[in-house]
C-alpha cells in the first residue's frame, strides 16, 4: 500500500496558494494552476487538499487556531450559522468566499439566511472550508464505505484521496461493516473535505442489527461519538413519519433508503412516531455543540421512475421543512436530501417544492436518475438529472457510480462517478452564470481551435484519458503539435479551413469591425433591399 497519497493528477499543473488577510490572520487559499504552452495559465477550484506524506499522521490542523480563538464567543453554540447571524465573519467564511471569488460578507449573509451551509465540525480541524448553497459553485459528494461483504480500511482511505483527486467536494462514509469507528477516524484525519455519515447505521450495529431495538439514547450516544471524531454532517431520517409509511405500500419499489426503511420498520413495530422526529430538539442540542450540519434524509425517496413525486415523498418533504425551522431556531445548519429517480419532466417540481417548503435551505440530491433501464450506466442516467436539478438550484449532487444497483464501486467506478458529476455540476454552473465557470470552457475551446493538444488535455477533467484516446489513433509525438486530427485528416480539417476563411475574409476587408457594425438583421435587410433574390 502506498501511503503517500494525492499525486498531482496532471502533468502540467500544481497546487498554488493565494494569501488573503482576515482579521489579522493570513489565510492560504488553495487552487490548482494549469500551465499552458502559450504562456497563459488558469487557476481552478481544487478540493484535493494539501496531501500528506504519511496517511498515519494525517493532515495539518489548519483550522485549530481559528477554532481556539473563537471558543469564548460561542457560548455553547459554535455553529457557523450562529456566528453569521451575530454578524461575525469567521475565518472559515472568508476562506470559502475566496475559493469562490466572492465576498466574505455575502457568504456570511447566505449562511445567516440558511441559504448556504459551511459544514465544519470544530473537531475536524484538517478541513479546508467550503460552501454548499445555490448561489455558489455546485458541489458534488462521493460515497465511500465498507460493508459487511467487502472492502478494507486502507481501501476506504484510498477511495477518499482518489475521490478528491478527481474533484469530490465532500465525501460520505457509509460504512456498515466491522471497524466503523476506526475506518472513520482514518478518513477524517486524512480529509480536507467535509465528511458526512448516516449515524443510524452504526446505531443499528449497536443494537444487534434489529431496528425495533433502536431508541433515542443509543442514537444520541452514536451522534456524540461521531461528532467527537469530527464528522461534518449527519444524514438523519427524521421526516419518516408513521403516517407516511403506508403511503409507500403501493409503490413499485417501496422504500429504498436504508435509513428510511430502518425508521419505517421502527415506527410500525412500535406503532409510535419516529423518535428522531419527536426528539429532534435533543439532536439539535448535540449538533450545535460541534457545528455538525443536518443533512435531513429523504427516507421515502422514490426508488424508480414510477414512484417519483408521490404522496409519501412530498409528505416527508413537508416534514423536513418543519424540521428545518426547528434546527434554525438552534442556529444549526441544514441541508435537505432529495431524490433519487425522477423523469425529466418531474425534476423542476422537486426543486420548487423543496425551496418553498424548506425555505431555501440547500438541496442535496442523489442524481436523480432519469430512467431505470440502464443498470451499469447509472452514472450517466443520473448525471443527466443531476445537471438539470443543479441548474434549477440544487446546491450539491451526490454521485452515482456505474456499479449503482449492482455492486460496490471499485477505484475506477469512483473515478467514473466523480467525473460524471463534475460534468453535471459544471454544466449547472455554466447555466447559472457563476463567474468562475466559463473561463475553463473558453480556455479549453481556444486550445482546441489552436491545435494546442497538450493544453486541451490538461484543461480537461481527465488529462490522462484524453491523451490516451488521442494516442490510440495518432500515437506519434508529432501529432501532438499537428494542425489536424485523426477525425478528418489533414485535407478535411474544418478548423484549418476556418483559418483560411479568416484570412480570406481579412483580405477582402470583411472583418470583425464589419461584424460589429452590421448585425445579422441589417445584413439580411440589405440583401433583400439590393434585390438579391434566390433564383434571380
- Residues 400-429 touching a copy of itself, rule: CB under 8 A, are 402-403, 405-408, 410, 419-420, 422-424, 426-428
Which three-class secondary structure state does DSSP give residue 305? helix
> CA–CA separation, 361 vs 355, rounded Å?
7
Q: Are 425 and 390 in contact (CB under 8 A)?
A: yes
387 binds a copy of itself (CB under 8 A): yes
Please select the residue that binds a copy of itself; options are 120, 231, 236, 245, rule is CB under 8 A.
Answer: 245
Asked if 138 interacts with a copy of itself (CB under 8 A), we say no
- Using the contact rule CB under 8 A, the part of the chain among 72-80, 116-124, 125-133, 495-503 near a copy of itself is 495-503
Stretch that binds a copy of itself, among 70-78, 121-129, 287-295, 369-377 (CB under 8 A): 369-377
Could you give the dihedral angle defined by the CA atoms of residues 312, 316, 317 and 318, in that order, rounded to the nearest 10 degrees? 110
Q: How far is the CB of 279 from a copy of itself (least distance, A)?
A: 9
Query: Per rule CB under 8 A, is residue 457 in the interface with a copy of itself?
Result: yes
Among 4, 57, 278, 481, which residue sits at the site for a copy of itself (rule: CB under 8 A)?
A: 278
Opening angle at CA 392, ends 390 and 398, nearest 5: 25
Nearer to a copy of itself, 41 or 524 (CB): 524
535: left (phi over 0), alpha (psi -120 to 50) or beta: left
23/488 with CB nearer a copy of itself: 488
Which range touches a copy of itself (CB under 8 A), out of 61-69, 181-189, 357-365, 515-523? Answer: 515-523
Applying CB under 8 A, among 29, 33, 51, 176 the residue interacting with a copy of itself is 176
DSSP string, 401-456: -TTTTTS---HHHHHHHHHHHHHHHHHHHHHHT-TTTHHHHHHHHHHHHTT-HHHH
Query: In Å, how far from its chain's centre is CA 430?
Result: 15
In whole angstroms, give the CA distance from residue 357 to residue 387: 22
376: contact with a copy of itself by CB under 8 A: yes
The only residue of 383, 395, 396, 400 in contact with a copy of itself, by rule CB under 8 A: 383
Does residue 220 interact with a copy of itself by CB under 8 A?
Answer: no
Using the minimum distance from each CB to a copy of itself, give the nearer residue, 61 or 269.
269
CA dist list (Å): 137 to 348, 355, 431, 474? 19, 18, 11, 37
221 vs 318, which CB is nearer to a copy of itself? 318
Q: How far apart are CA 312 and CA 316, in angstroms?
A: 6
Number of residues that bind a copy of itself (CB under 8 A): 143
Which residue from 194, 303, 339, 367 is in contact with a copy of itself, where contact means CB under 8 A? Answer: 303
**Contacts (CB under 8 A) with a copy of itself, residues 318-347:** 318, 322, 343-345
Choose, by CB under 8 A, the member of 224, 315, 349, 353 that binds a copy of itself: 315
363-366 and 396-398: which strand pairing?
parallel
Q: Residue 445 interacts with a copy of itself (CB under 8 A)?
A: yes
Which residue in the block uniquely carries the three cell numbers 450539491?
396
State yes or no: residue 370 binds a copy of itself (CB under 8 A): yes
Q: Indicate which single residue of 384, 395, 398, 418 sits in contact with a copy of itself (rule: CB under 8 A).
A: 384
Q: Which of 76, 115, 98, 330 is nearest to 90 (CA)?
A: 98
Pairing state of beta strands 132-133 and 116-117? antiparallel
Amino acid at each position: 500500500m502506498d501511503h503517500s497519497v494525492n499525486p498531482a493528477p496532471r502533468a502540467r499543473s500544481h497546487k498554488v496558494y493565494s494569501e488573503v488577510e482576515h482579521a489579522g490572520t493570513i489565510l492560504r487559499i488553495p487552487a490548482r494552476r494549469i500551465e499552458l504552452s502559450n504562456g497563459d495559465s488558469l487557476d481552478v477550484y481544487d478540493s484535493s487538499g494539501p496531501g500528506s506524506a504519511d496517511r498515519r499522521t494525517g493532515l495539518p490542523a489548519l483550522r485549530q487556531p481559528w477554532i481556539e480563538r473563537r471558543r469564548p464567543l460561542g457560548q455553547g453554540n459554535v455553529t457557523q450559522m450562529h456566528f453569521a447571524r451575530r454578524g461575525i465573519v469567521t475565518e472559515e467564511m472568508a476562506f470559502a468566499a475566496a475559493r469562490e471569488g466572492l465576498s466574505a460578507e455575502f457568504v456570511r449573509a447566505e449562511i445567516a439566511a440558511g441559504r448556504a451551509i459551511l459544514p465544519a465540525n470544530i473537531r475536524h480541524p484538517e478541513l479546508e472550508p467550503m460552501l454548499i448553497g445555490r448561489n455558489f459553485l455546485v458541489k458534488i459528494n462521493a460515497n465511500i464505505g465498507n460493508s459487511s461483504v467487502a472492502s478494507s480500511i486502507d481501501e476506504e482511505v484510498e477511495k477518499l484521496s482518489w475521490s478528491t483527486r478527481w474533484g469530490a467536494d465532500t465525501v460520505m462514509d457509509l460504512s456498515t461493516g466491522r471497524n466503523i469507528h476506526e475506518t472513520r477516524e482514518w478518513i477524517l484525519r486524512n480529509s480536507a473535505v467535509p465528511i458526512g455519515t448516516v449515524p443510524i447505521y452504526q446505531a443499528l450495529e449497536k443494537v444487534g442489527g434489529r431496528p425495533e431495538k433502536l431508541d433515542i439514547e443509543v442514537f444520541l450516544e452514536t451522534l456524540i461519538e461521531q461528532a467527537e471524531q469530527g464528522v461534518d454532517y449527519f444524514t438523519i431520517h427524521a421526516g419518516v413519519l408513521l403516517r407516511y409509511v403506508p403511503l409507500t405500500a403501493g409503490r413499485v419499489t417501496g422504500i429504498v433508503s436504508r435509513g428510511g426503511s430502518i425508521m419505517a420498520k421502527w415506527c410500525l413495530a412500535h406503532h409510535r412516531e419516529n423518535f428522531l422526529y419527536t426528539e429532534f430538539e435533543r439532536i439539535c442540542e448535540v449538533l450545535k455543540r460541534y457545528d455538525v450540519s443536518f443533512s435531513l434524509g429523504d427516507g421515502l425517496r422514490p426508488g424508480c421512475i414510477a414512484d417519483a413525486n408521490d404522496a409519501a415523498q412530498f409528505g416527508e418533504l413537508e416534514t423536513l421543512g418543519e424540521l428545518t425551522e426547528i434546527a434554525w431556531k438552534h442556529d444549526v445548519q441544514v441541508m435537505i436530501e432529495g431524490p433519487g429517480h425522477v423523469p425529466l419532466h418531474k425534476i423542476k417540481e422537486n426543486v420548487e417544492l423543496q425551496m418553498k417548503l424548506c425555505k431555501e435551505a440547500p438541496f442535496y440530491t442523489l442524481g436523480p436518475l432519469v430512467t431505470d433501464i440502464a443498470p451499469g450506466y447509472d452514472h450517466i442516467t443520473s448525471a443527466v438529472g443531476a445537471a438539470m436539478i443543479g441548474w434549477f438550484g440544487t446546491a450539491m449532487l451526490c454521485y452515482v457510480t456505474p456499479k449503482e444497483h449492482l455492486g460496490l464501486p471499485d477505484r475506477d467506478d469512483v473515478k467514473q462517478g466523480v467525473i460524471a458529476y463534475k460534468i453535471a455540476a459544471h454544466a449547472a454552473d455554466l447555466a447559472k452564470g457563476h463567474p468562475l465557470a466559463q473561463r475553463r470552457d473558453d480556455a479549453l475551446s481556444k486550445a482546441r481551435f489552436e491545435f494546442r493538444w497538450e493544453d486541451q488535455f490538461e484543461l480537461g477533467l481527465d488529462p490522462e484519458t484524453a491523451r490516451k484516446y488521442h494516442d490510440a489513433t495518432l500515437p506519434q509525438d508529432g501529432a501532438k503539435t499537428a494542425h489536424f486530427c485523426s477525425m478528418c485528416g489533414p485535407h478535411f480539417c474544418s478548423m484549418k479551413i476556418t483559418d483560411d476563411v479568416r484570412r480570406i475574409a481579412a483580405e477582402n476587408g470583411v472583418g470583425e469591425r464589419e461584424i460589429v457594425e452590421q448585425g445579422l438583421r441589417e445584413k439580411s435587410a440589405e440583401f433583400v433591399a439590393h434585390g438579391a433574390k434566390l433564383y434571380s
